[in-house]
Structure 1
Amino acid sequence: MSTSPDRSSLWGDQQFLLLAAARTISVLGNGFARVALAFAVLGLPGATPGRLSLVVACQALPQLVFILIGGVIADRMSRARLMVGADIVGAAAYAGLAGLVLSGHAPLILLCVLAVVAGTATALFSPAMAGLVPLVVEEDRLQEANGLLRVCTNSSLLLGLTLSGVAVAWIGAGWALALNAASFAVSAFLTTRLRAPGRAAKGSSGWDDLKEGWREFTSRQWLWVVVAQYAVVVAALNANVGVLGPLLAEEDLGGATAWSVIVAAQALGTIAGAGLAARVRVNRPILVAVLATFPAALPIALLAASAPVWLIAVAMFSSGITSDLFGVLWSTTIQREVPEEALSRVSSYDWFGSLAFAPLGLLVAGPAADAIGTQKALAGCAAVIALATCAALFSPQVRKLTAPPRPGSQHMPEATPPAATSRTVDEETA
């Protein structure tokens, strides 16, 4: 492992700065919305946990259903323009939710419709964002850019989540949702300032584009293998964070305070991990990324063993570091290896596959805890993560895909002696 050579900072690049500012402000608002939406729905007359689940599901489902369509559209038009449109739609949806909550009259059907609109905006935005970074940043600085963007967004999300409870208490959930709507509007304005190229009109149909994206996706073994791995990993992580972890914290660790400490430790770890990933250089990025998944199982195993809160928090901090190390190496490799004209479609298949089982993880976690106990269910989640990661390592492309040489390098990565490669991986995952 090494760090990147000294070069002029990306913060001096106006286009990158605009992109980072837009994402930071938008994610800050989303941090508010995660808490504000729940309290807004629960604060309405006649509110029940079932109503909250329905509204949240209406927001989450379109993100999975429409993500592939978002990838096709993003590869057929200006990605920056699509992001602006998605931000405007998101701003309108959250402004509508805020208006309903502030009025005190919020029919469930209207809440669900606006939640669907907000989720659809996210489905259109995400593939476009994944494909925009290579149009703004030079190829040899993609990893640094992805790392810095994650530092900004992780820090912003942590700040938003931290301040959201205070905002809801001081100004109310409706006004907190209005702040999120405003953040989308500011993000849209900043994105309009980006000088991203447009796209030539295509003669093919959207269905043909979707099939072409599938061919690009399936032609790379390392890509579909890791997406299959993460379909399982994300389901297990969702079960832990959404259901099993809070259950065990309530049963054995002292309740919400202990769980908040554990979750905050992971959030801090993601910030540190993104900063590290912006600078490290590895010869085999996908191998390192897959190995970096193993630490995600450790805090879940410690929860299953009813370990002390401080030890679980340390493990969560470490898993936060390695999760963002994975994220930066993964995003950068896709941006380098996939043709730019198909990048958003391939990214949408990545999103779709990785999230495919996420609702299932939440659905079965509660019944599993009832049937076999929370600790055994957590142990099962840890084992599933470890087994899925081991299975991914059987792929030759996962183990052998190499990064391009660094600027000024005299040797191709493939020429690295085996012993040196082993040290690089060991150092990277330590």
Structure 2
Amino acid sequence: MIPDSSSRPSWASRNYALLTGAAVVTGLGANGSLIAAAFAVLEAGGDAGDVGLVAAARTLPLVVFLLIGGAVADRLPRHRVMVAANALSCVSQGAFAALVLTGEPRLWQMMLLTALGGTGQAFFGPAAEGMLLSSVEGENAGRAFALFRMATQGAALGGAALGGALVAAVGPGWVLALDAACFALAGAGRAFLDVGHIPPREPGTGLLADLRDGWAEFIGRPWLWGIVVQFSLVNAVVGAADAVYGPLVARDSLGGAGPWGLALGAFGAGTAAGALLMTRYRPRRLLLAGTLSVFPLALPPAALAVPVPAGVLYGVMFLAGATVEIFGVSWMTALHQEIPEHKLSRVSAYDWFGSVALIPLATALAGPAQSAFGRTPALWGTSALIVTATALVLLIPDVRRLRRRGTPDAVTSRTPTGTESAEEEQQANSPC
């Protein structure tokens, strides 16, 4: 899982290589399991509302425990938090797979096991992001994040396409079992991460104090909370479309799980292509370029609303994936540049919390919204919300002005406001 040091770039640390390899493994399983869970519910006799409830059951504990997970990850060795979370996800997905393979799972059972997986993710996510952001430094950070995302999005491509094909060929239970095995393998690898470079926390602060400190760091940066609010809406409606409406449109108009898996795979291929682009493209105004790239996310729900033929949907998904990856890499680079290392997991937790807070509500209401308004109007409404939320965040001055810093010293000099001094702005305007 870890490339030999002689085959890695000089800026790619052992931790970076290990984190990338483990993320690829879990990405292969997780992206297939999302499709498998939806079709497991449908094959058990569930409807759109039941699919939404199972999806919401995963996200609700993610919202509830994220902030605690971020504080814990900044307090305990991050790799131990990650391994424990992987173990919980392995057990929950394994039990889900066993239920599907051995009988007819009940809705409450699927919701409970999915909720356990969401709990694991709540502790894993902030620890993993903090670990990744601290594994690279200097002017190559943006390239490192782009390569990491290219690898993980490539895994998303393979996982979604393979998952859809396997669901169609052998059923959702085996795909869920594969996901459990991936969590076990990745967790074993993450146990070897080195946290020696992270200074020990000073004694005397409690969990609540850590949460307040993280909140002060978060709320003091308008660009940070503004974009998190934007993605609270964007992720909620995109999540509902992917988890509920997408499988239903695929079943009714595209031919079932296989084409929907290919559509998600096309999105993954687009994100891999976008990440490849970002290894070369270094926008100086990080957040402006990233935010403008979010607008094409409105295209996939519009395509499902029509609905377009499968081939056209694949092209739309690829385009949306490619453009939104510009945002993803720019966002990670901005966090790495602006947030102190010892607060990365807590700030990441507030980021994750805001970004997923509305997903349970959106997925739970997706079925009732379809019954009340119809699937097509609901999908058009999804597109409209994405465009509106993205346009509004451009009104925040720091989103338009925050610049990439041009030297290693400037990258590690994180300011509380997210804006540069005159000297730093001159550096940012110099050729990259």
Give the TM-score of the pair, scaled to structure 2.
0.82
Paired residues of 2:59 and 2:359 also in contact (CA < 8 A) = no
Indicate the SS of the match to 2:342.
helix
Deviation readout 1:18-53 (Å, 9 max, x if unpaired): 111111111212134223444555666xx5446665
What corresponds to 1:279 in structure 2? Answer: 280
What corresponds to 2:419 in structure 1? Answer: none
CA RMSD in angstroms comes to 3.4
Equivalent position amino acid for 2:62 in 1: Q
Indicate the SS of the match to 1:279.
coil
- State percent identity of aligned pairs: 39
2:49 is the counterpart of 1:87: no
What corresponds to 1:74 in structure 2? Answer: 73
In structure 1, how many angstroms separate the alpha carbons of the residues matched to 2:28 and 2:364? 28
Give the unaligned 5+ runs of structure 2: 1-6, 411-421
User: CA 1:248/1:32 → structure 2, altered by over 3 Å: closer, same or farther?
Assistant: closer
Equivalent position amino acid for 1:230 in 2: F
Q: 2:426 aligns with which of 410, 415, 418?
A: 415
What corresponds to 1:139 in structure 2? Answer: 138
Aligned 1:331-370 pairs, distance under 5 A: 331-370=332-371
Report the Cα offset of residue 79 of structure 1: 1.0
Aligned 1:154-169 pairs, distance under 5 A: 154-168=153-167
In structure 1, how many angstroms separate the alpha carbons of the residues matched to 2:305 and 2:16? 43
Give the TM-score of the pair, scaled to structure 1.
0.83
Report the Cα offset of residue 215 of structure 1: 0.7
Deviation readout 1:280-313 (Å, 9 max, x if unpaired): 2111101111111112224444555666665554
Paired residues of 2:52 and 2:240 also in contact (CA < 8 A) = no
Paired residues of 2:98 and 2:173 also in contact (CA < 8 A) = yes
User: CA 1:169/1:315 → structure 2, altered by over 3 Å: closer, same or farther?
Assistant: closer
What corresponds to 1:25 in structure 2? Answer: 25
What corresponds to 2:151 in structure 1? Answer: 152
Aligned 1:318-329 pairs, distance under 5 A: 318-329=319-330
Q: How many residues align?
A: 411
In structure 1, how many angstroms separate the alpha carbons of the residues matched to 2:254 and 2:183? 37
What corresponds to 1:428 in structure 2? Answer: none
Deviation readout 1:84-143 (Å, 9 max, x if unpaired): 111122222223333444554867655544332221111100000110013322233222
Deviation readout 1:312-345 (Å, 9 max, x if unpaired): 5433322111111111111221122111111111
Deviation readout 1:153-209 (Å, 9 max, x if unpaired): 111122122223444566654443333222112112211222123533531121111
In structure 2, how many angstroms separate the alpha carbons of the residues matched to 1:286 and 1:216? 18
In structure 2, how many angstroms separate the alpha carbons of the residues matched to 1:309 and 1:111? 30
User: CA 1:344/1:238 → structure 2, altered by over 3 Å: closer, same or farther?
Assistant: same
In structure 2, how many angstroms separate the alpha carbons of the residues matched to 1:243 and 1:318? 21
Equivalent position amino acid for 1:319 in 2: A
What corresponds to 1:265 in structure 2? Answer: 266
Report the Cα offset of residue 259 of structure 1: 5.2
In structure 2, how many angstroms separate the alpha carbons of the residues matched to 1:258 and 1:166? 9
